[in-house]
A and B are shown apart, each in its own frame.
Chain A
Amino acid sequence: MSILVFCENIEGTFKKNTLEAITYGRKLAEQTQSPLAAVVNGSPDVEVLKTYGIGKAYLLEGSNTGDSASLAKGIAGVCSKVDASTVILTYNSTGKSIAGQLGILCGAGVVNSVNALPSSLEPFQVSQSVFAGKAEAVVEVPGEKKVLGLQSNSIKIEEAPVDTIDTEIVTSDGGSRVEVIRQDKISGGVPLPEAELVVSGGRGFKGPENWNILEDLAGVLGAATACSRPVSDSDWRPHHEHVGQTGITIRPNLYIAIGISGAIQHLGGVNNSKTIVVINKDPEAPFFKAADYGVVGDLFDVVPRLTEAVKKYKGA
Chain B
Amino acid sequence: MNILVCIARAVETTAKISFTDNDTRFDDTGVQYIMNPYDEWYSLVRALELKEKEGGEVHVVCVGDSSSEQVIRKALAIGADKAFRIDLEPKTADETAFQLAEFAKSGNYDIIFTGKETVDYNSGLVPPMLSALLDWPFVGIVSDLEYENGEATLSREIEGGVEIVKASLPLVLSATKDLAEQRIPNMRGIMMAKRKPLEVVEAKETAPKVNFVGFSKPEKDTEITYVDPENMDELVRLLSEEAKVI
Binding site for B on A (CB under 8 A): 10, 15, 65-69, 72, 92-94, 96-105, 107-113, 125, 128-143, 177-186, 189, 191, 193-194, 196-197, 221, 232, 239-240, 242, 245-246, 249, 253-254, 263-265, 271-272, 274-277, 288-298, 301-302, 305-306, 308-310, 312-313
- Closest Cβ–Cβ distance, residue B40 to chain A (whole Å): 12
Q: Is the CB of B161 within 8 A of A72?
A: no
Asked if B222 is at the interface (CB within 8 A of a chain A CB), the reply is: yes
Q: Is the CB of A183 within 8 A of B161?
A: yes
Q: A265-B14, A292-B224, A308-B232 are in contact. Are A184 and B161 (CB under 8 A)?
A: yes
Asked if B20 is at the interface (CB within 8 A of a chain A CB), the reply is: no
Q: Is the CB of A138 within 8 A of B131?
A: no
Q: Is the CB of A97 within 8 A of B138?
A: yes
Interface string of B9-20 (1 = CB under 8 A from A): 001011001010
Residue in B122, B125, B138, B209 whose CB lies within 8 Å of A249: B122
- Of A10, A69, A140, most buried by chain B (CB within 10 Å of CB) is A69
Q: A109-B210, A110-B94, A246-B13 are in contact. Are A103 and B129 (CB under 8 A)?
A: yes
Asked if B186 is at the interface (CB within 8 A of a chain A CB), the reply is: no
Q: Is the CB of B213 within 8 A of A130?
A: no
Query: Nearest 4 pairs between A and B by C-beta?
Result: A297-B229, A100-B128, A185-B161, A109-B209
Q: How far is the CA of A112 from the CA of B232 in the complex (A)?
A: 39
Can you show 24 pairs from A to B with CB atoms below 8 A apart?
A98-B128, A100-B97, A100-B126, A100-B128, A103-B125, A110-B209, A110-B210, A112-B125, A134-B17, A136-B215, A139-B212, A177-B137, A179-B165, A240-B157, A245-B13, A246-B177, A271-B220, A275-B243, A275-B245, A277-B235, A293-B224, A295-B235, A306-B232, A310-B246
Q: Is the CB of A69 within 8 A of B164?
A: no
Residue in B135, B163, B235 whose CB lies within 8 Å of A306: B235
Residues of B within 8 A of A132 (CB): 13, 119, 122
- Closest Cβ–Cβ distance, residue A185 to chain B (whole Å): 4
Q: Is the CB of B163 within 8 A of A271?
A: no
Q: Is the CB of A309 within 8 A of B140?
A: no
Q: How far is the CA of A232 from the CA of B176 in the complex (A)?
A: 13
Q: Is the CB of B159 within 8 A of A137?
A: no
Q: Is the CB of A131 within 8 A of B122?
A: yes
Residues of A within 8 A of B226 (CB): 293-296
Residues of A within 8 A of B158 (CB): 65, 93-94, 183, 185
Q: Is the CB of B168 within 8 A of A193?
A: no
A-B pair count, CB < 8 Å, reads 274
Chain B residue total in the interface (Cβ 8 A):
81
Residue of A nearest to B159 (CB): A191
Q: Is the CB of A178 within 8 A of B143?
A: no
Q: How far is the CA of A67 from the CA of B210 in the complex (A)?
A: 26
Asked if B74 is at the interface (CB within 8 A of a chain A CB), the reply is: no
Residue in A69, A246, A290 whose CB lies within 8 Å of B119: A246
- Closest Cβ–Cβ distance, residue B206 to chain A (whole Å): 12
Residues of A within 8 A of B159 (CB): 10, 15, 92-93, 191, 193-194
Q: How far is the CA of A221 from the CA of B240 in the complex (A)?
A: 12
Q: Is the CB of A309 within 8 A of B213?
A: no
Residue in B97, B215, B230 whose CB lies within 8 Å of A137: B215
Q: Is the CB of B210 within 8 A of A141?
A: yes
Asked if B191 is at the interface (CB within 8 A of a chain A CB), the reply is: no
Known A276-B222, A301-B229; 7 more pairs at CB < 8 Å = A69-B138, A92-B159, A135-B217, A138-B214, A189-B160, A272-B218, A294-B227
Residues of A within 8 A of B220 (CB): 271, 290
Q: Is the CB of B132 within 8 A of A183?
A: no
Q: How far is the CA of A105 from the CA of B239 in the complex (A)?
A: 46
Q: How far is the CA of A112 from the CA of B182 in the complex (A)?
A: 28
Residues of A within 8 A of B232 (CB): 295, 302, 305-306, 308-309
Q: Is the CB of A137 within 8 A of B209?
A: no
Residue in B209, B210, B217, B225 whose CB lies within 8 Å of A294: B225
Q: How far is the CA of A143 from the CA of B208 in the complex (A)?
A: 10
